[in-house]
Amino acid sequence: MQSDRTLSRPNGAVDPARAALLRAANINPRTGLATDYLNHFNEAVMLLEMIPDIPECAEDFLAWKPLSYAEHFTATNFKARDLVIEAYGQADPDIRVRFDHLTKTMTDILLAVGAAMQEATQDKTRARLAEQAAGWVKPLVAQVGGIINGDIEIDPIPDQAEVDPVDAVDVIMSGGL
């Protein structure tokens, strides 16, 4: 199959036949990305939000494993997974860099919180970790959704100095929050 760049028209628009094929597979023709990948992170956020009320959900959260874009679509047996993976590979590199940065940030947060939860001995500490992590990840999921949907002009990512999840997790674990 030809790349979007080959099928693009002079004004940068995707060939109408290619755009229809992508839309039919729930892939945004402008970005080459599918919102279905957000389900991977929304599942983790949902579990985090349940932990304060149902502490046993921490075990379900701890079972969450990071998956790359391609791994997610392969693991879920998404109907058009080959097309989704191909379109991701052909997406504008600037879009992919921003997308990959945000999804890596979410993954890093979730893994750091998971590691801290494994060390936590009290449900109260796990609940505080879960609430904080959900507060960090939910806005990032929204930003990734904006990228996927072609709304690139979204709020900037907070500076690492403003929100460092690993440092914040350390503060929570030490009883500082």
pLDDT digits (tens, 9 = 90+) for 129-138: 999 999 999 9
User: What element of type H or E holds 166?
Assistant: helix 165-173
Rounded Cα distance between 68 and 72, Å, is: 6
Confidence of residue 77 (pLDDT cuts 50, 70, 90): confident
* pLDDT tens digits for range 80-116: 999 999 999 999 999 999 999 999 999 999 999 999 9
What are the residue boundaries of the structural domains of the chain, listed by start?
36-173
Q: Tell me which range, 44-58, 73-87, 145-159, is most confidently predicted by mean pLDDT.
A: 44-58
Report the pLDDT value the prediction gives residue 170, as an integer from 0 to 100: 62
- pTM equals 0.80
Residue 58 predicted with pLDDT over 70: yes
CA distances from 52 to 13, 87, 93, 125, 127 (A): 47, 39, 39, 9, 5
Report the pLDDT value the prediction gives residue 127, as an integer from 0 to 100: 97
Q: Which DSSP state fits 122?
A: S
Cβ neighbourhood burial of 105 (10 Å; 0-12, 13-18, 19+): buried
User: What element of type H or E holds 145?
Assistant: helix 123-148
Q: What is the mean pLDDT of residues 65-78?
A: 92
CA distances from 90 to 14, 33, 41 (A): 12, 10, 23
Report residue 37 CA to chain centroid gap: 7
Rounded Cα distance between 138 and 136, Å, is: 6
Are 36 and 78 spatial neighbours (Cβ–Cβ below 8 Å)? Answer: yes
**Average model confidence (pLDDT) across the chain:** 85
Confidence of residue 27 (pLDDT cuts 50, 70, 90): very high
Report the pLDDT value the prediction gives residue 79, as an integer from 0 to 100: 87
Report the pLDDT value the prediction gives residue 155, as an integer from 0 to 100: 42
